[in-house]
Amino acid sequence: MDPLLRSELIRYGELAQACYDAFDYDLASRYCGSCKYPRRAFFERLGMPDAARGYAVTRYLYATSNFRFPNFFSGRSRADAKLWSQRANWIGYVAVSTDEESARLGRRDIAIAWRGTITRLEWVSDLMDYLRPVADEGIPCPDPEVKVESGFVDLYTDKDPSCRFCKYSAREQVLVEVRKLVAHYTALGEDVSISVTGHSLGSSLAILSAYDIAESAANLSNVQRAAVCVYSFSGPRVGNGRFRERFEGELGVKALRVTNVHDNVPRMPGIFLNEGVPEMVRRVAEGLRMPWCYSHVGVELALDHKRSPFLKDTLDPGCSHNLEAHLHLLDGCERTASVSFLPRTLAVPESNMPV
């Protein structure tokens, strides 16, 4: 693997891992479900000096906890009046590269990181839900055949006007912050990129929010259109074949999906009807409006934890889904399969990109 690409993947993976490390899941804490650290000292408090020098968090992102997703806090009642919020969960953050890091990259990079569910694979029960048109969820897509998994889009768009932290949906929070940052830095004459990352459920939100940014033209200013890319780690499928065509071809969003070949999560949903079946079969199934026809987006980078001499194989399927294991494999082990082409890695100067 190209060493520059490897280092960039690890860096964005660490930005996603920070969402887990900073999440307060102590059931005895009144701040359970929030971020443990203040925004201005986020990376320093996590002990991430390299990331701290490169990025500064500009906004925390919250999602509603009354969504019918597997309970983040089983064993504790959210009705406790002393909790910091009755409805919200901290789900990620938006950060922007510092002047020094922007000079290295050759552009001002806006990074968006999403968290997956804290407990291992308990959210998989919702993965087999039906596809829904994104236009029905307020995303301005002109094609009603562009559909995404209903559970993911609900978490992305749900809000609770009575809650201070999720008065606006995660979608609204992201779009407002991205528009503000793009307008600010393009007005200063800088080139801007938008890089979205996440693991597991966070990968789904990363793909969905990157699509939404491009579809809603949140990356467009009077000066330029900021390019959008996704660094996905161990993520499930998000939408149907028409979503993939819109995402990759018409909107030009790039995605690189890092997976473990022994992980079952990237195989879902759409276990039987997906991008791997013959095109004619997929078209017929979608024409019949079958609600389980899913397609991955972007390019897959497949890893194999069994090729690492430092990882002990276990019978726990959750181990192959672990983000830190993915980062270890990226850092020190070979890939199991070659990539047919490399997406334009927006966080790296083009002159340094592998061909």
CATH code of 210's domain: 3.40.50.1820
Is 343 within the bounds of a domain? no
Q: Is 263 a catalytic residue?
A: yes
**Can you point out the beta strands (E) in the chain?**
55-64, 88-97, 108-114, 131-133, 147-149, 192-199, 227-233, 254-260, 299-303
If one compares 180 and 278, the residue with the highest pLDDT of the two is 180
Query: 275: domain range?
Result: 3-74+93-332
Pick the catalytic residue: 154, 263, 295, 320? 263
pLDDT at 345 over 80: no
Is 318 within the bounds of a domain? yes
If one compares 191 and 275, the residue with the highest pLDDT of the two is 191
Is 87 within the bounds of a domain? no
Is 347 within the bounds of a domain? no
Q: Is 34 a catalytic residue?
A: no
Q: Helix or strand or coil: residue 23?
A: strand
Q: Is 200 a catalytic residue?
A: yes
pLDDT tens per residue, range 299-336: 999 998 888 878 877 777 778 888 998 998 898 754 44
How far apart are alpha carbons 223 and 184 in whole angstroms? Answer: 11
Is 157 within the bounds of a domain? yes
pLDDT at 79 over 70: no
Pick the catalytic residue: 199, 296, 321, 326? 321
Are 205 and 152 a contacting pair, CB within 8 Å? Answer: yes
290 — pLDDT class (breaks 50, 70, 90): low
Is 337 within the bounds of a domain? no
Pick the catalytic residue: 65, 85, 97, 200? 200
Is 79 within the bounds of a domain? no
Whole-structure pTM value:
0.86
Structurally, the chain folds into a number of domains equal to 1
Is 233 within the bounds of a domain? yes
